[in-house]
Structure 1
Amino acid sequence: MNGVWKNLCHSVFMKFMDLRRWNPAVADIYTEHAHQVVVAKYAPSGFYVASGDVSGKLRIWDTTQKEHLLKYEYQPFAGKIKDIAWTEDSKRIAVVGEGREKFGAVFLWDSGSSVGEITGHNKVINSVDIKQSRPYRLVTGSDDNCAAFFEGPPFKFKFTIGDHGRFVNCVRFSPDGNRFATASADGQDHGRFVNCVRFSPDGNRFATASADGQIFIYDGKTGEKVCSLGGSKAHDGGIYAISWSPDSTHLLSASGDKSSKIWDVSANSVVSTFPMGSTVLDQQLGCLWQKDHLLSISLSGYINYLDKNNPSKPLRVIKGHSKSIQCLAVHRNGGKSYIYSGSHDGHINIL
């Protein structure tokens, strides 16, 4: 899907944009959440989107019509939804987040019937991903410094992966589904929050990313650890997001050390490092590898198009507001018109 989801300000809508043009004229807007939207994921079929908000509401809605009709609404647990994953047949959804006694759920998209249990964690679950080929595997990453591995359906807990020494922020399966990777923030086996987990597109691997600055790669079918990217440390700060290349050979990481990196997973080496600045607002909190496009998201809210041929400078930076817009003005100069917008976020943008 040639696009990216963005949560704008405190509004309750998500936008889908064409990555090649980034033209608001081709944006779709969904405004039916009553609370701030945290995450949205397309079903692999492309016909539906599942979006979750801070109240714990999950809404599944149609993408084929401008009205974006609601199909189903669920409340998987009481608390913020932090991540969503679909199975490749678009029939099952896994949802994780800030529940009270329950931090995740996996169920059929059209009935809400359970197809397993998300257990094995005693704190907030930050990330979830599902291997996009059979036999299905599911992996989660949590504030309890661990990732958990599941087989199914019905999905059942198999074992805990305690390699991270800080919070595990992200886990991701490789595109071929054979391996996965984890990323974290303390320079040892993950001992801090696991922030992100992602299977590779082929399902052969998955990755975990954490607040300890490490990324671990695992076998996508067995959950056995393959390697730690970059040895003892992948980044000098916590890692908040990872994204696999479409061919499952490389991984893009985004870190609080104000950089993003491309990794050759098989060679266990850095291919490119993208320095994004020196201020707190230059911390990298998200990333996306979509076909030929590489994007990262800064704490400032800016979206950066990364240039593999010139890592020192983004191809383009999309500057939007992160808080409400208070004023607009039009300035005409030399036959051209410019729109100035001022926001509570302290920025003035020129369109």
Structure 2
Amino acid sequence: MAEFEQEDAHELRLDANDVALDVTENTEGMDEEMSDGELDMDPEETFQDDSIAAFYGHRKSVFCVQLHPSFPNPPIAVSGGEDDGGWIWNTIDGSEITRLSGHTDSVVAVSFSNDGEFVATGGLDGRVRVWRRHGSEWATWEFLTSLDGPSEVVWLSWHPKGPVLAAGASDTTVWMWQLPSGNVMNVFSGHTGSVTCGRFTPDGRKLVTGSDDGSLIVWDPRSAAALAKFDGGDQRFELPGGITSLTVSPDSRVIAAGGAAGGIRVVSIANVDNGDGGSFVGALDGHNDGESVESIEFISLAGSTAHIVSAGTDGRAIIWDLHAGRQRGEVAHDAAITKLVVHPNTPMFTTSSIDHTIRTWDARNAKQVGEQHGFTDGVLDVAVGVDDGLTQGAESGGIGAFVDISQSKGFKIVGAGDEGVALVFRLM
């Protein structure tokens, strides 16, 4: 952590006159033999495992993983997978804490509430199940309620300021509940396709959702009214194949949406409370045509929050300067990137990939600062938390031993693997 000092964040103030983003970068495509996501592996390559802990409870593909919001105190993670369930587990030694059962199909979304008191799982069975921390111990969790309503759940998002949970579904709807009562607060209807992504704005005043019908809607969570809607009716916004990912600026004024065919669209919602319906800012076209933008996030860089990082199935992660309307740099895996996560208050971000690796990058110079191995199949999700110095393994003195975290880069990384294991790494 000491390696990077927190940069002063300036509020992002963009409109269509501030930024010219209609840019197409000429970049080389992936080799044809990589286009289907397969790796050209050397059969004699020695297996490398850098992990310091592992969780083997799932046994089938692990689709999602998240760390407790107060990590590393407590040092716990939640994960969900193809085994129709989720687990809360200890990242220090990989031990099971609580089995999150009750689903009848794959768990594709897991999420701790922002205060860490609740944890939710969302499944392809249409169920959202919620547990609550019991007593003062983080190691004890009790089942609270099952929330029914959607068909297949696609994503979950907790409100940043209270126990309110939203879920997007494949049946075109978004549901929102109040916890711990489990009462339905609102059902949002306005998309015509699966609601593929969504999140509350950082200030909690709006809910933003994207769909594979190509529409992006900004909602008032209290009334379920659509404050702004962007779709292919405005040819400047059109995203063929629909929207696959979205992110909201830290000041809750700008949204960037990634598309199934590789495009990114940036819009301003700074004045939607005044009834202006939002405004189109520009287009970013740098990912390979036909390769979806799987993950996109704002990142603090050069004293400004006017930068985003996008990651796609073309194996590339691109750092964008929104003020200049162009690429600042890019990095690459050997196969599709499944997820990117930004390290809070630093210019670093981490990516997981089908190429079996997790890599960490410095967005200032697009240089790799770490690479983690240990998976034998694709890495489907990744989470990052502060390094507490705790580890396991004979080389460091056994389970619960401390290491000198000044010799690391200050973070632990947890990956979810397609072979049914979650691995914990120290960023060295």
Is the pair's TM-score, using the shorter chain for normalization, greater than 0.5? yes
Counterpart contact for 1:214–1:234, Cα < 8 Å: yes
How far 1:112 moved relative to its partner? 2.8
How far 1:264 moved relative to its partner? 2.4
Letter in 2 for 1:245: I
2-structure distance, mates of 1:127, 1:249: 22
Q: Alignment partner for residue 266 of structure 2, among 210, 217, 221?
A: 217
2-structure distance, mates of 1:220, 1:16: 39
How far 1:310 moved relative to its partner? 6.3
1:74/1:144 CA distance change after superposition, 3 Å:
same
In the alignment, is residue 199 of structure 1 matched against residue 248 of structure 2?
yes
How far 1:16 moved relative to its partner? 7.0
In the alignment, is residue 254 of structure 1 matched against residue 323 of structure 2?
no
Q: Alignment partner for residue 124 of structure 2, among 54, 57, 64?
A: 54
2-structure distance, mates of 1:164, 1:235: 23
Q: Alignment partner for residue 149 of structure 2, among 64, 69, 76?
A: 76
In the alignment, is residue 89 of structure 1 matched against residue 143 of structure 2?
no
1-structure distance, mates of 2:178, 2:160: 13
Counterpart contact for 1:139–1:149, Cα < 8 Å: yes
2-structure distance, mates of 1:344, 1:161: 35
1:242/1:346 CA distance change after superposition, 3 Å:
closer
Write out aligned runs for 1:135-284 (5 A).
136-163=205-232, 189-221=238-270, 222=272, 224-230=278-284, 233-236=285-288, 237-245=291-299, 248-277=305-334, 282-284=335-337
2-structure distance, mates of 1:196, 1:322: 24
Q: 1:80-136, CA deviations, whole angstroms, 9 ceiling, x for partnerless residues? A: x1111122222322101223xx532112122233333311112111011111225x1
2-structure distance, mates of 1:212, 1:164: 17
Letter in 1 for 2:121: S
Counterpart contact for 2:269–2:279, Cα < 8 Å: no
Q: Percent identity?
A: 15
1-structure distance, mates of 2:98, 2:373: 21
How far 1:260 moved relative to its partner? 0.8
Letter in 1 for 2:202: Q
2-structure distance, mates of 1:229, 1:16: 41
How far 1:245 moved relative to its partner? 2.3
RMSD of aligned residue pairs (Cα, Å): 3.6
1:164/1:82 CA distance change after superposition, 3 Å:
farther
2-structure distance, mates of 1:159, 1:310: 36
2-structure distance, mates of 1:49, 1:252: 28
How far 1:150 moved relative to its partner? 1.3
Counterpart contact for 1:137–1:220, Cα < 8 Å: no
How far 1:191 moved relative to its partner? 2.5
How far 1:70 moved relative to its partner? 2.0
In the alignment, is residue 306 of structure 1 matched against residue 361 of structure 2?
yes
The higher-RCO structure (CA 8 Å, 6+ apart) is 2
Task: Tell me the equivalent position of 2:174.
Answer: 104
In the alignment, is residue 32 of structure 1 matched against residue 100 of structure 2?
yes
Counterpart contact for 2:109–2:156, Cα < 8 Å: yes
2-structure distance, mates of 1:6, 1:257: 26
1:164/1:262 CA distance change after superposition, 3 Å:
farther
1:344/1:198 CA distance change after superposition, 3 Å:
closer
Task: Tell me the equivalent position of 1:180.
Answer: none
How far 1:257 moved relative to its partner? 1.3
TM-score normalised by length of structure 1:
0.72
Counterpart contact for 2:261–2:292, Cα < 8 Å: yes
How far 1:289 moved relative to its partner? 0.9
Q: 1:249-282, CA deviations, whole angstroms, 9 ceiling, x for partnerless residues? A: 32221101110122223332322211112xxxx1
Counterpart contact for 2:245–2:258, Cα < 8 Å: yes
Q: What SS does the corresponding residue of 2:352 show, helix, strand or coil?
A: strand
Letter in 1 for 2:260: A
1:309/1:266 CA distance change after superposition, 3 Å:
closer
2-structure distance, mates of 1:344, 1:42: 22
2-structure distance, mates of 1:13, 1:96: 19
Q: What SS does the corresponding residue of 2:338 show, helix, strand or coil?
A: strand
1:314/1:164 CA distance change after superposition, 3 Å:
farther
Task: Tell me the equivalent position of 1:285.
Answer: 338
Letter in 1 for 2:147: Y
Letter in 2 for 1:290: H
State the structure with more CA Rg: 2
Q: What SS does the corresponding residue of 2:184 show, helix, strand or coil?
A: coil
TM-score normalised by length of structure 2:
0.60
Task: Tell me the equivalent position of 2:381.
Answer: none
Task: Tell me the equivalent position of 1:330.
Answer: none
Task: Tell me the equivalent position of 1:65.
Answer: 138
Write out aligned runs for 1:123-142 (5 A).
123-133=193-203, 136-142=205-211
1-structure distance, mates of 2:364, 2:306: 18
More strand by share: 1
1:189/1:71 CA distance change after superposition, 3 Å:
same
Q: What SS does the corresponding residue of 1:105 show, helix, strand or coil?
A: strand
Q: How many residues align?
A: 298
Q: Which runs of 5 or more residues in structure 2 are unaligned?
A: 1-68, 379-394, 398-416
